[in-house]
Structure 1
Amino acid sequence: MAPQDWRVLMSEEPADCTIRPLADVAVNPASYERAAFLADAGRQLAGGLGVDGLVRRALRACVPKVADWAQLVVPADRGARCVAADAETADRLSAVDVPRPTTTGALSGHARVIATGRPETVPVAPGPGFAESLAPWVPGADRDDRLARLRPMELAVLPLVARGTPFGTLTLARRAGQGFDTDELTFAGEVGARIAVALDSARVRAAQAEIADAMAATRRPPSLPETPGLELGVRHRPGSGHGDGGGDFYDVLGEPGDWVILHADVITTGAQAAVVTAQARHTVRGAVYFERRPAEILRALNAALAAPFPDDSARLLTAVCARVRTRRDGGLEVTLASAGHPRPVLIRRGDDPVELPVQGRLCGALATTTYEEIGTVLARGDLLLLFSNRVPDAKGSEGRFGLDRLTTLAARFAGAPPAALAEVVDLAVGEVMATRPGEHADDLGLVVLGAPLH
C-alpha cells in the first residue's frame, strides 16, 4: 500500500457504514432449503443410535428429498453390507451381504471409490445390459425391480469418509433428466459427510462397548469348581462406579485334594483395573499348571506385572495366595503367602480370631521379589477368612466398618459353614455402606474356606 493510502485510512472523513436490508441481497431459495435439510439431517442422525438404526434413518432422510433411490455400503464382520431404500417403499429396506472388496487387480465400483476417496457419477441407460451395468454398484440389481422403474437414470456414488479414511459409500439414483450437476453433487457430498461422521461414531461406540463388555467379563466373579473335601464361601459386592470401579477378585484353581486360592486387590480403578485383573488371572492360571507353591505363584505374578512396565504404578496389586490340601482326618493343610494383602483371619471354636502373620511386598513394585510362606492346619469347623482392605475400610455415617468389627462378627460363626460367615459379613458391610450411598466406587469381596463339618 502506498504512503498516501495510509493518510486516506487515517482521515477524519466518516466511512460509508450503511447497513442494507437483507431483502436487497439476492438469496437462492434452494440454498436455504439445502441448509435446512442438512441441519435437520444432523439432528436426525444424532442421539447415540446403533449402526443399523443409523443406516435406516439415513436412508429415510435421503429418499425422496435427495434421490429417488439410495444405498449405503458399510463394513460388516465378514465383508460389507449393502442396504437400499427407494422413495415409493422407503420403509421396506433391502439388504445384501457381500465379500469385502478386494484390492488385487483393477478396482471397480465401490472398491474404486473407497480406494480413491473420490465421488463418481454413472449414467445408466435402459436396455438389455441394464443389470450388468449396475452390478459393480448395486449388488443384487438383477433381483431388485425398484431400480428398473427409474431407468434411464444417473447414479452418484460418494465415499463415506471419517477421520480422513474412506470406509464405505453412499449411492444415490435419480431418474433421467434429474441427474447431478456440480451443485447437486456438492450437496450430496455434504449429506454423505454427515452420514459418514454419524456412522463412524456409532461404529466407535459399538467397538468401545464390545471392549467394555470384554473387560467387564474379566472382572466378574468366576464360577466356583466342585471342591470335594473343601468348603468355600465367597461374596463379591460391585462398587457404585457403574462399571468403572476396580478392586477385588478371586480365583479357585487346581484339582481335588490340592487347590490354589487367590484373593487379590488391584490398586487402580476403571479400565486399567480390568486390564491388570485379566493379566493377573491369566498369569496365575498358567503358573498353577506348573507350580502350586504360593510363594512361587506370587513371584511369577509379580514378574508379569513389573517386568514390562517397571514405572507403571497403575499395575500394582495386593494378593494372598493359599494352597489347600486335604488331610486324611478331614482337615485341611493350608500354606499361605502374601503380597501386601491384609492378613488372613483364622477362626477356631473356643478361641479368639487371630490374624496369621504372613506378609510380603505388593506385586508389580519391583521386578524381582521373593515371598515367604507360613502354614497352618484347619480342623473341622475352623474357618479362614481372606479379604482386602476394602472390607474393613468400607465407610458409613458412623465411620469405617473396621477390623475389630470384622473379627468380632467372625468369632460368632466359628464352627459354622464358610458360606454362612461370607453372607453375614457381606450383609453387615452392606448395611454400613448403605448409610453413605454413592460413595463406594470400588468393588469388594471376600473368600472363606474351611473343612466340611461332616
Structure 2
Amino acid sequence: MQSAASSRVRTDGPAPALLRAALDAADEAVLLCGTVDDEILLVNAAAARLVPGLTPGGACPLDGLTGALATGADSFTDEYAGRHLAGRRRALDAGHYGWYLRDRTEEVNRAAALQAERARTSFLAEAGRRLSTSLHQGRCLRTTAEMAVAHLADAAVVVLPADRRRNTWLRLAEGGRIEEGTVPESRLADVPGLVEVLGGFPPIPSRWLDAAQAPEWLGLGPIGALLVTPLPGNAAPAGALILARRDRAFTPDDEILARSFAARAGAALSAAGLYREQADTAAILQADLLPPELIQLDGVELVGSYQAAHEAARIGGDFYDVFAPNQPGGDTVLALGDVCGTGPEAAVLTGKVRQTLRALHLVDADPTAMLRVLNQALLQSGRPHRFVTLVVGALRRAEHGRVRLTLATGGHPPPLVLRNDGQVEEVPVSGTLIGAVRETVVHPAEVELAPGELCLLYSDGLTEARGGPTATDQYGEARLRAALSTCQGLPATATVERLRQLVSDWMHGGARDDIAMLAVRAPGRTALSLRDGGAPNESPFALTTRRVRQRS
C-alpha cells in the first residue's frame, strides 16, 4: 500500500484498484490525503455517501475540515446537509494521512432531546413549586403569566371563568408589565377557541387558530401564532391560558409542554379559588361571632376585652354581649360566658348561646330565667357534652348616680366589685353548669355600684393563665383581686387594659386559654386629678396612662 500510494504522489495518476477496493469495502468514511499539499487523493464510497459534494482534487464543502487543514488540527466537527459530522486525522506513512469521518447526527439529536427534556422537567418542577407556595389567587395568576412568558411564549393572557357575567383577565408581554382587567362574557367569542376552552372542551391545535383574529382587548399586538389551552380545575375549568408568539409557530412538543404547565397552573388556581371562597364564607360566618361593639349608656361605662387562645383565631369559646333595653327605662342585659372547648366548634356554640340569650331578652326574661331556659335548650340539642359557664346581669340606673345590677351565674366565677376605697368584693352568686344537668340551681344576687365603682365580669382563662417564675403557676384569684385593687379611680377602659397587660406579662407569651372581660363602671368623676401629680394641661388619657405605669 505504501509503494502504491507513493507512486500515486509521484506520478499523480489514479489510486491503485486494490487500495480503492479496500477503502470502499470499509464501513467507515475515509478521505486519503497527501502530506505535501493536504490535497484529497481518494474518497471512499462511505465518505461519498456521507458527503456527496466531496471529490478528490475538488473544492472541500466541509468548513470544519477546511479549518482543521488550515490550523493543523487533528479533529473537527461540522454540519452538512442537515447532518452532524465529526472528523479525526490519522497518520498513514511519511507522505499520507487519512481523515476518518463519523456521522454523529443521532448522537447530537439524542443529546439535544435529553437536554430539552431536562429543561422541560426543570420548568415544570419550578412551576409546580412556585404555584404551590401560595393560596392567593392574584399571586397564582401573576406566577402563571410570568412563567408562561419566560418559557413558552412572547405574551400570555390568563382568563378566569365569568363572575357576574364578566371575566377577569391578566396579561403580560415580554419586557412589559402585568396588566389586569375584565371583559364582558359576550366578548369571549372574539378570541378563537376561548369559549370552547372555558366550557371544558379539549384545546384546539394552534395550527387551526387564525392568529389574525385575535381582538384588540387582548393587547398582544401583531402575532404570528396563537395557542389557547384550558386551565383544568376541580371538576370545572379554572380558566384559560392564551399564548402568543410573534415569529415562531407552536410545535406539537410546545403544545404538550403548554398543556402540562396549564394543568399545574389550573390546579393551583382552583385551590386558590376554593380557599378564597372558604375564607369569604368563614368571614361572613365569623362576623356574627366576633365580640360586639358595646352600646353606650347614659354615663355608664361598658368596656369589653377578648383574647382568643390562638393568635391566628379571632373567635373562640369565651364571649361577652350587651343587649339594649327593649323599651325606655328597661333593663340592659349583660352576659359573659365560657363554652366548653376552644376554636371554631366552641365559637359555633358561642353563637347559639348568644342568640338564645338575645331571644330571651326580647321576652323580658330575668337573669335566672335566662339561665334555666338556656340549660333546657342545650340539653335538648341532642349534642352531648355541650355545656357553658355563664354570668348574666340586668343593669338599671338607680338614684343619685348609682347603678344596680342583678346577677346570676351558672358554674361561672363570681364577678368582682371594686369599691371607691380600693376594696375588692366578690358578688355572692352561684349556680350549676348550664347544659350539664336537668335541674339547674341558681342563686342570684343584687349589687349596687356607687358613682365611680366598677364591677368586673371575667372568664376563668384570666385566673388560670399559667406563667410566673416557673411558667406553670396560675395567675389566680388572689393576684387578680390585688391587681384590680390598684385600679381604683381608673376609667373602665384603663382598668381592663391594665388587667390584660398584667396577665400577658405573667404568661411571658406562653400558651393560654380564651380570656374575656366585661367591666361596668357607674358614672362618676374620675379619681385622677391634679392632686395625683397631673400637669395643669395634661389630658385625662395621658394622666391615666402615666398613673397606670406608676402603679405597675
Q: Match of 1:70, as an amino acid?
A: A
Aligned to 2:397: 326
Instruction: Find the aligned partners of 1:412 and 1:84 in 2 and give their Cα distance.
Output: 62
The Cα shift of 1:321 comes to: 0.9
Q: Which of the numbers 137, 147, 172 marks the counterpart of 1:85?
A: 172
Larger Rg: 2
Q: Which residue of 2 aligns with 1:11?
A: none
Shift of residue 100, structure 1, vs aligned partner = 9.4
Give the equivalent residue in structure 1 for 2:446: 376
Displacement of 1:409? 4.5
Question: Residue 121 of structure 1: which of 188, 201, 205 is its match?
Answer: 205
The one-letter code of the counterpart of 2:197 is V
The C-alpha deviation readout for 1:246-270, integer Å capped at 9, x for no partner, is 3432111213642011111232222
Q: TM-score, normalised by structure 2?
A: 0.63
| Shift in CA distance, 290/111, structure 1 to aligned 2, threshold 3 Å | farther
Match of 1:54 in 2: 140
> Contact between 1:247 and 1:444, CA under 8 Å: does it hold in 2?
no
Tell me the residue number matched to 1:41.
127
Check if 1:236 corresponds to 2:315. Answer: no
- Paired position in structure 1 for 2:346: 273
The 1-side partners of 2:179 and 2:168 are apart by 12
**CA distance in 2: counterparts of 1:433 and 1:143, whole angstroms:** 59
In structure 1, which of residues 387, 394, 406 is the aligned counterpart of residue 480 of structure 2?
A: 406
Change (3 A) 1:298 1:34: same
- 1:106-130 superposed Cα distances (whole Å, 9 cap, x missing partner): xx9545334445222363447xxx5
Q: Percent identity?
A: 29
Specify every segment of 5 or more residues in structure 1 that has no aligned partner in the other structure, as ranges. 1-22, 103-107, 135-140
Give the alignment partner of residue 200 of structure 1, picking from 270, 295, 312.
270
Counterpart mapping for 1:22-421 below 5 A: 26=110, 28-29=113-114, 30-48=116-134, 50-63=136-149, 65-75=151-161, 77-78=163-164, 79-87=166-174, 89-93=175-179, 95-99=181-185, 109-121=193-205, 123-125=208-210, 131=213, 134=214, 141-144=215-218, 146-147=220-221, 149-151=222-224, 153=225, 155-174=226-245, 178-181=249-252, 183-211=253-281, 213-214=283-284, 217-218=287-288, 220-228=290-298, 230-237=300-307, 239=309, 241-243=311-313, 246-255=316-325, 257=329, 258-299=331-372, 301-302=374-375, 307-311=380-384, 313=385, 315-348=386-419, 353-363=425-435, 365=436, 372=442, 374-381=444-451, 382-398=453-469, 399-410=473-484, 418-419=492-493, 421=495
Instruction: State the secondary structure of the residue aligned to 2:160.
Output: strand
Q: Pick one of 493, 501, 515 that aligns with 1:444.
A: 515
Cα-to-partner distance string for 1:57-80 (whole Å, 9 max, x where unaligned) = 211221263234432122465342
In structure 2, distance between residues paired with 1:303 and 1:211: 31
Question: Is contact 2:146-2:172 (8 Å) kept?
Answer: yes
Instruction: Sort the Cα spacing of 1:284 and 1:161 in 2 relative to 1 into closer, same or farther, 3 A.
Output: farther
- Tell me, in whole angstroms, the C-alpha distance in 2 between the residues paired with 1:101 and 1:304: 56
Q: Who is 1:9 aligned against? A: none
Structure 2 residue aligned with 1:4: none
Using the size of structure 1 for normalisation, the TM-score is 0.74
Q: Is the 8 A contact 1:396 1:433 kept in 2?
A: yes
- C-alpha contact (below 8 Å) 1:294/1:373 kept by paired residues: no
| Alpha-carbon separation, structure 2, partners of 1:90 and 1:77 | 27
CA–CA distance in 2 between the matches of 1:369 and 1:168? 59
Count of residue pairs brought into register by the alignment: 404
Retained in 2: the 8 A contact 1:156–1:180?
no
Range 377-386 or range 50-59, more displaced: 377-386
C-alpha displacement of 1:38: 1.6
**Cα offsets for 1:182-218 (capped at 9, x unmatched):** x433222101011112222333443454455556655
Q: Measure the CA separation in 2 of the matches of 1:167 and 1:417.
A: 55
Q: Is the 8 A contact 1:383 1:449 kept in 2?
A: yes
Root mean square deviation of aligned Cα? 3.7
- Secondary structure at the aligned position of 2:463 is classed as coil
Displacement of 1:144 in angstroms is 4.7
* Contact 2:157 2:218 (8 Å CA) reproduced: no
- SS of 1:391's partner is helix
Change (3 A) 1:171 1:451: same
User: In structure 2, the residue corresponding to 1:271 is in which secondary structure?
Assistant: helix
Displacement after TM superposition at 1:407 (Å): 3.3
Amino acid aligned to 2:510: G
Distance 1:401 1:82 in 2: 56
- Structure 2 segments unaligned to the other structure (5+ residues): 1-106, 526-552
Q: Counterpart of 2:516 in 1: which secondary structure? A: strand
Report the AA paired with residue 31 of structure 1.
E
User: Secondary structure of 1:146's match?
Assistant: coil
Does the CA contact (< 8 Å) of 1:344 and 1:355 recur in 2? yes
Query: CA 1:430 to 1:167, structure 2 compared with 1: closer, same or farther past 3 Å?
Result: closer
Between stretches 171-180 and 225-234, larger displacement belongs to 171-180
Deviation at 1:85, TM superposition (A): 3.1
Instruction: Tell me how far 1:372 sits from its aligned partner.
Output: 3.5
Distance 1:369 1:223 in 2: 34
Aligned-pair CA distance for 1:446: 1.8
Tell me, what secondary structure is at the counterpart of 1:193? Answer: helix
Q: CA-to-partner distance for each residue in 1:156-192, whole Å, 9 max, x for gaps?
A: 33222234432322233446872343x4332221010
3-state secondary structure, aligned to 1:262: strand
Q: Do the aligned residues in 1 keep the contact of 2:418 with 2:425 (CA within 8 Å)?
A: yes
